[in-house]
Structure 1
Amino acid sequence: MSYRENLKVQHEKMHVKHSGHEAMHAEMVLIFTATLVVAQIVLVQWKQRHCRSYNLVTLLQMWVVPLYFTIKLYWWRFLSTWGMFSVITSYVIFRATRKPLAGRTPRMVYKWFLLIYKLSYAVGVLGYLAIMFTMFGFNVFFRIKAEDSMDVGVIMLFYGLYYGVMGRDFAEICSDYMASTIGYYNMGGMPSRNLCHDICAVCGQKTFVDVDEEGIIEDTYQLSCNHIFHEFCIRGWCIVGKKQTCPYCNEKVDLKKMMNNPWERTHVLYGQLLDWLRYLVAWQPIIIGIVHGINFSLGLE
């Protein structure tokens, strides 16, 4: 039997072996779609009803899963950055959870996570541009191999998105601890202490300038509830810590009014993108694992 005839026989055997698999594949697609919808509903309800536990479990998965693959695949470059981020962030969280809280701690917390926020944004954008640079073939002009430039772009994009997500989650945890420790508001709706008119309601330190004056280092910002803040503190509270209420009286904050330039609006949109990626990275592997388990129990291949 010739080589061509042998290939023809093998092709016919493959068709016989996989005959009827169209219905099986359709059933697998249906299972995947149904599992995805149900999982999305469960996660949304969990987040709405028990947001704290949802965030903690998601953060734990985001923390452990990349570390597992890093050690398994010997990605020492990522492991080194992960280690530095973990050490510094652990120290920041330690400072944020102390009682009584030091007066300079809130500003230190916001500065660190705002730095992570900006770095992750910049690295992610550079990674995206590197990928587009390769896809349009501009790497040829600089005699860079497509594989090398694409690898750099994907790695930078992953670094930016991963640390952006982790930074936002840890910032929210620190914000919750600081709010409860400093004692701005409680479940009864009344602040547990009074602040003077020239004291920032986030960090508890004296403001540098009046509301109407232009500051050299930073300005003083006043919300519609008339409580005043260091501009850096309230922007860190709202943007980095994802808080949309006054930290003193819990009144709703108008973010559109506070963010009066396109750069800050971009940060808010970027934060929404990170929320979507958190779901994709932390929960999508579990959903796919559940789908594989269902297919295996039903004998689907």
Structure 2
Amino acid sequence: MAALQPQGDLLRMSHQETWKVQHEKLHVRHRGHEAMHAEMVLILIATLVVAQIVLVQWKQRHCRSYNMVTLLQMWVVPLYFIIRLYWWRFLSTWGMFSVITSYVIFRATRKPLSCRTPRMVYKWFLLIYKLSYAVGVVGYLAIMFTMFGFNVFFRIKAEDSMDVGVIMLFYGLYYGVMGRDFAEICSDYMASTIGYYSMGGMPSRSLGDDICAVCGQKIFVDVDEEGIIEDTYQLSCNHIFHEFCIRGWCIVGKKQTCPYCNEKVDLKRMMSNPWERTHVLYGQLLDWLRYLVAWQPIIIGVVHGINFTLGLE
């Protein structure tokens, strides 16, 4: 058999032949372990089901603590791969994002809140959102570009173009998740500090007809007028806001209720442009990625711990 060839013959083999020999060795080593493998698969499926139930219940009953723990894991987990795999390029972008975002969060949690802070916070996270969206789309197009073989026309190696596509897609999705989660935290703190919004109860201040409940500043443009810099938007509950504020609140800050009366916001009506509706799908993709990055490694670690305890290999 090829698995029993001398070491000298193995050194003269091609990469494909060496892989075939290693594959045969793997089959020989695991022969007769079908029952053990079936048990490991059942453990994996059972752990995934139980973990999903626990996470869903946790999110429904204690949404705030769930979001905080998930965000902390999303922020810390990449450090393990940075140190182990020497991802220094990612470390530089991660460090810069962390420093600037820490300063933004510091400004958003100050009391009393500066009148310029809400706009600054939403501008920063809207910039992160747009950049992550653009980088993710370019990465996805690069992957499709390689899979259909268009890289040959530009004399680009498939490995290089695929690596660039995967890296850009990862960067876009990761920072998209982080930006939206931090924006949600800042939105809660700022709106609660201003007083027109309360996470669980009645607002502490009465909202005037010409005040935006998101930033607490006056609205100078009527709903029917066209503004020079931005327009004024009115929700179905008749409360009016600066357009950038309510879009930042709903799209970037992940809120789907009026900041003042908590009535449901119709996102389809707000984003009448078909191109804008892709932001909703992108947000759903980011929510799924959050679970994959933050909780999947822990679930796999639990599965490995169970297998080790039971003596399964």
Measured against the shorter chain, the TM-score band is over 0.9
Change (3 A) 1:72 1:250: same
Residues matched between the structures, number: 301
TM-score, with structure 2 as normaliser: 0.89
Asked if 2 retains the 8 angstrom alpha-carbon contact of 1:185 and 1:248, the reply is yes
Q: Deviations over 1:90-144 (max 9, x none)?
A: 1110110000111111111111111111110110010011111111111111011
Q: Is 1:237 the counterpart of 2:249 in the alignment?
A: yes
Change (3 A) 1:35 1:212: same
Asked if 1 retains the 8 angstrom alpha-carbon contact of 2:197 and 2:213, the reply is no
For residues 47 and 187 of structure 1, the distance between their equivalents in structure 2, rounded to whole angstroms, comes to 16
Asked if 2 retains the 8 angstrom alpha-carbon contact of 1:123 and 1:157, the reply is yes
Change (3 A) 1:298 1:241: same
Change (3 A) 1:281 1:7: closer
For residues 162 and 9 of structure 1, the distance between their equivalents in structure 2, rounded to whole angstroms, comes to 38
- What is the Cα deviation at residue 72 of structure 1? 2.9
Q: Deviations over 1:27-81 (max 9, x none)?
A: 1111100100110110111111111111111111111111222133222211111
Asked if 1 retains the 8 angstrom alpha-carbon contact of 2:191 and 2:213, the reply is no
Change (3 A) 1:143 1:15: closer
Q: Name whichever of 16-25 and 159-168 sits farther off.
A: 16-25
- What is the Cα deviation at residue 18 of structure 1? 3.4
Q: Name whichever of 69-78 and 51-60 sits farther off.
A: 69-78
- What is the Cα deviation at residue 15 of structure 1? 6.8
Asked if 2 retains the 8 angstrom alpha-carbon contact of 1:189 and 1:249, the reply is no
Change (3 A) 1:296 1:226: same
Change (3 A) 1:101 1:28: same
Q: Identity percentage over the alignment?
A: 92
- What is the Cα deviation at residue 10 of structure 1? 12
For residue 226 of structure 1, give the secondary structure of its aligned residue in structure 2: coil
Asked if 1 retains the 8 angstrom alpha-carbon contact of 2:192 and 2:199, the reply is no
For residues 119 and 14 of structure 2, the distance between their equivalents in structure 1, rounded to whole angstroms, comes to 78
- What is the Cα deviation at residue 273 of structure 1? 0.5
TM-score, with structure 1 as normaliser: 0.93
For residue 82 of structure 1, give the secondary structure of its aligned residue in structure 2: helix
Asked if 1 retains the 8 angstrom alpha-carbon contact of 2:74 and 2:293, the reply is yes
Superposition RMSD on alpha carbons, in Å?
Answer: 3.4
Give 5+ residue unaligned stretches, structure 1. none
Change (3 A) 1:16 1:151: closer
- What is the Cα deviation at residue 195 of structure 1? 3.0
For residues 4 and 101 of structure 1, the distance between their equivalents in structure 2, rounded to whole angstroms, comes to 64
